[in-house]
């Protein structure tokens, strides 16, 4: 899943994983768990994430490698938030080749920067189960309380207004080149993110259906 911060990659990856019956690998969730647990990796990653910067390649690549080597990921998976750089993309290609796997499709969700700022500033996440909400687009039934587990909803450090601008600049310089990278490989499919969640879900499912023909 490709796209700038706030376009809905996590939401769509989760829905797609449920529909396809394969695991959803969220690089961001894995890192946040490391940070919450105060592991060595978590402490190192936190200094970058809180500034809206990308976590160094070597840290995230090792996490992804350990994850997809697991038994539950042998039938496929959906990557969300990785790769984020060309270096990571090439490392992923090498890793998948080593494991006898390949990328079937790279889905890029397109949303304007103005809309992204609006989405990010209103996003809330459950500090317990990591379910995502939004004060306007996906409000919880009870304010600041997770519908799924009852946990407290919080604003992620990297969703605070002071870091949003920097996150978008980082994306433009370091992650946006992946669009061209996967387009040249014939794997890229663009999907508009300026629709409802269910409409975007249907568009993505149609892309996958066509790819499977």
**Hey, which residues are catalytic here?**
9, 84, 123, 156, 167
Query: What is the distance between the alpha carbons of residues 211 and 187, in angstroms, rounded to a whole number?
Result: 9
Query: What is the distance between the alpha carbons of residues 155 and 102, in angstroms, rounded to a whole number?
Result: 35
Question: Tokens standing for 1?
Answer: 């899943």
């Amino acid at each position: 899943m490709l796209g700038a911060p706030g376009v809905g990659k996590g939401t769509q990856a989760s829905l797609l994983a449920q529909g396809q019956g394969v695991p959803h690998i969220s690089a961001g969730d894995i890192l946040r768990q490391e940070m919450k647990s105060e592991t060595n990796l978590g402490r190192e990653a936190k200094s970058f994430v809180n500034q809206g910067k990308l976590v160094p390649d070597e840290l995230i690549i090792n996490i992804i490698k350990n994850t997809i080597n697991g038994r539950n990921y042998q039938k496929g998976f959906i990557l969300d938030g990785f790769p984020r750089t060309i270096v990571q993309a090439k490392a992923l290609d090498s890793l998948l080749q080593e494991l006898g796997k390949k990328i079937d499709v790279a889905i890029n969700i397109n949303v304007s920067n103005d809309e992204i700022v609006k989405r990010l500033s209103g996003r809330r996440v459950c500090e317990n189960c990591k379910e995502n909400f939004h004060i306007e687009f996906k409000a919880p039934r009870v304010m600041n309380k997770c519908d799924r587990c009852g946990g407290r909803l919080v604003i992620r450090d990297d969703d605070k207004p002071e870091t949003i601008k920097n996150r978008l600049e980082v994306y433009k310089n370091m992650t946006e080149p992946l669009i061209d990278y996967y387009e040249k490989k014939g794997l890229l499919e663009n999907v508009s993110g300026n629709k409802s969640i269910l409409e975007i879900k249907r568009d993505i499912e149609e892309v996958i259906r066509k790819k499977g023909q």
